[in-house]
Structures are given as C-alpha cells and as structure tokens.
Amino acid sequence: MEFLQELLNLKGLVKDPWMLMGDFNVVRWMSDRSGVMEEFQLMDRYNEFIDLLQLLEVPLQNRNYTWSSKRPEPSFSKLDRLFLSTEWSSRFPSISLQALEMAVSDHVPLLLCCKQLQTSPKPPRLEKAWFQYPFLREVVNHNWQPGVNNDLASFQTRCDRMHKEMRMWHLQNFGKFNEQYAVLFFDKIEEHRSLDR
C-alpha cells in the first residue's frame, strides 16, 4: 500500500504523458492467479489506485501469466503490467505488449512494441529451401507460359503471383514454427499442465 501511495504522490509531479511498467507483485483479477486467491482487499485497492491515476492497461497479447514459481508443480500469476496515461495512449494508439521466453528469471520479459501505422509491403523473397522441391519448377512454369505479354507491368504481376503461390505453399508445408515460437509454445502449455523434464 505504501508503494501505491508513493506512485499516487508521484503523479502530481508529472505533467507529461507517462507510462508505468514492471512487477507490481499484486494481481488485479481473480483470473490473474492459478490456484487459491486470498488477497481480495489488496486487489480492490490496486484497482482503485489505477482508477485514481486514470491509467489504461495495455493487454498482454500472448501469455496469461507473467510469473512462475518454477516448482515441479508450478503456480502462476500475472504480476507484470504496463499502464499508460490517457494522453500517452492517444498519442501512440498502436502500442502492444508481448511476452518473450522465460529464460533466467521467474518473470517473463515484456516487450513494448509501437507498430507503424503505415507499413510498406515486404519485398518478395526466395527461400533457399524451396529449390529442393519440384513445386518451385511447377510454379515458375505455370507463371511463365509462352506468348504472355512481356511488358514491365505483366512481369511484376507474374512475379507477385508466383511469390504469393510459393509463400502459401511454404506456410502449408513448413508453417512459421521456429525456436522462439517453440519456447513460447511450451511456456504456454506449462501454464495449464506440468511438463515432463
């Protein structure tokens, strides 16, 4: 409670848009903790404090919890949060919060992202692995039929169509599963059941 009061006093000194991010060591809602919940009074005071400061919480997009007891049968809580003043959220409406993999600490690191409002399309890329499959030759042959108009617009259209077909084939056969996604995948499973070591 002393910590919350200190932050409340601090707000009077801050005139600019501000954000608050970190481990608050208290939960906001019953669903923020796996297991038995006993801190109802502190939870209510925490939410009153957020209302008094007129803070908006940025939702965590890819995890339910941010802390683990790291025991054989772990318990989980959502203790780490990001709050913004209303001025900040109106200036930067495209903010998002992502959890990264839990490596050393018992808390997951949080990554604040400010997405660009206007993005240019990614340039087409050719994956080296595609050359090992006959599909690549079929796509090229299909898009470069004899007698097709050879102007620049037609060339660009055929390249775009070919790239789209190859990307779709790649996603269907390989997906987007890399090492980082694998770690996050298992972290998320552990929130619901224990994992064999």
pLDDT in tens, 37-58: 777 888 888 888 888 888 889 8
> Concatenated DSSP letters for 55-117?
EEEPPBSS-S-SEE--SSS--EE--EEEEEEHHHHHH-TTEEEEE----SSSB--EEEEE--S
- pLDDT score, position 165: 79
Strand ranges, E, within 105-180? 110-114
- pLDDT score, position 149: 59
Distances (CA, A) of 85 to 9, 11, 82, 110, 155: 15, 10, 10, 19, 50
Residue 148 CA to residue 97 CA, distance in Å, equals 48
Residue 81 confidence class, pLDDT cut points 50, 70, 90: very high
pLDDT in tens, 62-74: 888 899 888 888 8
Residue 126 confidence class, pLDDT cut points 50, 70, 90: low
Q: Is 58 exposed, middle or buried (0-12, 13-18, 19+ CB in 10 A)?
A: buried
Secondary-structure class of domain 2-118 per CATH: alpha beta
Task: Give the three-state DSSP class for 160.
Answer: helix
Residue 68 CA to residue 57 CA, distance in Å, equals 21
Query: Residue 179: which residues within 8 A CB-CB, separation 6 or more?
Result: none
More confident residue, 120 or 27: 27
More confident residue, 12 or 126: 12
Least confident range of 57-61, 182-186, 191-195: 182-186
Domain range summary for the chain, segments of one domain joined by +: 2-118, 120-197
pLDDT beyond 70 at 146? no
pTM to 2 decimals?
A: 0.56
Give φ, ψ of 50 to 5 degrees. Answer: -65, -40
- pLDDT score, position 20: 86
Task: Report angle CA 108, 177, 120 to the nearest 5 degrees.
Answer: 90
Q: Span 28-40, mean pLDDT?
A: 82
Least confident range of 7-16, 161-170, 175-184: 175-184
Residue carrying the six token digits 């954000």: 19
Q: Are 65 and 76 in contact (CB under 8 A)?
A: yes
Q: What is the largest CA-CA distance in the chain?
A: 78
Q: Are 96 and 113 in contact (CB under 8 A)?
A: yes
- pLDDT score, position 129: 67
- pLDDT score, position 153: 61
